[in-house]
Amino acid sequence: MTREPQKAVVAGVSVDTRHWIGGERVASSQTFTDVSPIDGSVLGEIARGTATEAAAAVAAAKAAFPGWSRTPRSERARILHAIADGVEKRLEDLAIVETTDNGALLRSHRHGVMPRVAHNFRFFADWLLRLGHEDFQTRGHTNHVSWDPAGPCALITPWNAPLMLATWKVAPALAAGNTVVLKPAEWSPLTASLLADIAAEARLPAGVLNLVQGYGSEIGSALTSHPDVRRISFTGSVPTARRIAESAVANLTPLSLELGGKSPLLVFADADLDLAVDLAVDQYDNAGQVCLAGTRLLVEEPIVEEFTRRFVEKASALKQGDPRDGTTDIGPNIHPRQLEKIDGFVQRALAAGAKAVIGGHRKEGLYYAPTLLTDVTQDSEIVQEEVFGPVLTLQTFADEEEAVRLANGTRFGLAATLATGDLERAERVSARLVAGTVWVNCFFVRDLKAPFGGSRLSGVGREGGAWSFDFYCDVKNTVTAPKGWTNHG
């Protein structure tokens, strides 16, 4: 890996480290350093934007909006498919750069994440072409529903799945006819820059997609409080979401917020135990840096000993190490600050009486041992607060009623996973769980046609399929009188 003032070269892939505003690369007077979590190597010096760059990006988006919003749906869809083609053409580049930048598994980026990035563009391009509502009649008057582009959108994305979660927002916003200012997380900014190159090669008009990089404290509020920004979509922490909401309120800018989770994974005695254990161990995916992860294992009392034995056996076999190695199961955590946070949660829990069945400690570098804590209480910090690392807790329940009470017993409501062999029970329990998504005998199965979002402190709003267009558009109803009929009163 080599560095130049305006470039990072990662595994032979050149990444421009400047902003992308109005179809041009723009430098800043200051930079911040991007470091790989794999080995601590410096990847590049990234342009560090301020309110000045934020304002320029919003101005570029505003200037491009009239042309893009009037572009026929078929042409917008064609360009989005061209962006998807570009993603697929550069899939290997995107995979190795993102793995190096955020530490997630290279095999996952190659076979799951980057193909999903391309699919995000294709799905919303195709959905756009069939978006519509049948006209309906009211006393002879015709009602016609339309989805009008809203305007420039500020999209603020996290570091744990940088490009996939960015394009989950960018693709529907562009499909809807909006222009975009994308602000990626400062801990993993590189693939967003590559996306700007890919969009330009697909002949997305200048100013339709803009990229500004920097710290949220220096650039975020300049975006979210800007009067020309008409939609804000954010994925990240609850405290940051509160600040965004406060800055957006003056302009009554609509928000979509996908926030933290403390999701339960319920295992009933009638479950397929091998499946349940597999589901539980899957929660260590991406070193536990997954907002949807079922980090609270709730296991029915009669099977807890056998479940724990099998879980420990399977989890202990996971290989932790360099995520570029195809045999690695768990890579590093993203940043020293995040590792400190994870270890702080665990050490406080142990001091309060929790028992580490496995893990409970740091390893060399930014690696944290996969951890399972037992002897925890429902009101304890480790059960109530999001850790965002490879740390699970285990509690038991006596019956269905207690299972639901424990599952719903936090401030969050993003997701829930349920393992049971009784489909009637699955229906009963699922109906009572507070969650935006419930998985029964499976995990992380997501279709873009489905609504996605959280309840309680896990978020505001839903995106996906028609819900995305409802958010990124001003939905309008036009009522037309019958020919020759007038209403004067």
pLDDT in tens, 189-234: 999 999 999 999 999 999 999 999 999 989 988 999 999 999 999 9
Q: What is the pTM of this model?
A: 0.95
Q: What is the pLDDT of residue 242?
A: 95
Q: CB-side exposure of 361: number of CA atoms within 13 Å? A: 5
Four-residue CA torsion sign, 5, 7, 9, 12: negative
Residue 489: predicted pLDDT = 45
Gap between the Cα atoms of 266 and 261, Å rounded: 15
Q: What percent of the chain has pLDDT over 90?
A: 96
Across residues 258-275, what is the average pLDDT? 97
Q: What is the pLDDT of residues 143-192, one digit of tens each?
A: 999 999 999 999 999 999 999 999 999 999 999 999 999 999 999 999 99
Rounded average pLDDT over 419-424: 97
**301-356, pLDDT tens digit by residue?**
999 999 999 999 999 999 999 999 999 999 999 999 999 999 999 999 999 999 99
Residue pair 435/419 in contact by the 8 Å Cβ criterion = no
b/e map 160-187, b = 16+ CB within 10 Å: bbbbbbbbbbbbbbbbbbbbbbbbbbbb
Read off the pLDDT of each residue in 351-367 and give the average, rounded to a whole number. 97
Q: What is the 3-state secondary structure (H, E, C) of 324-361?
A: CCCCCCECCCCCHHHHHHHHHHHHHHHHCCCEEEECCC
8 Å CB contact between 280 and 311: yes
The CATH number of the structural domain formed by 2-259+458-477 is: 3.40.605.10
| C-alpha torsion sign, points 405, 407, 410, 412 | negative
CATH topology for the 264-440 domain: Aldehyde Dehydrogenase; Chain A, domain 2 (3.40.309)
| DSSP H or E segment with residue 413 | strand 412-413
Strand, helix or coil at 203?
Answer: coil
Answer yes or no: is pLDDT of 394 > 70.
Answer: yes
Q: Write down the pLDDT at residue 19.
A: 98
What pLDDT is recorded for position 483? 84
Report the catalytic residues.
Answer: 258, 291
The pLDDT of residue 79 is above 50: yes
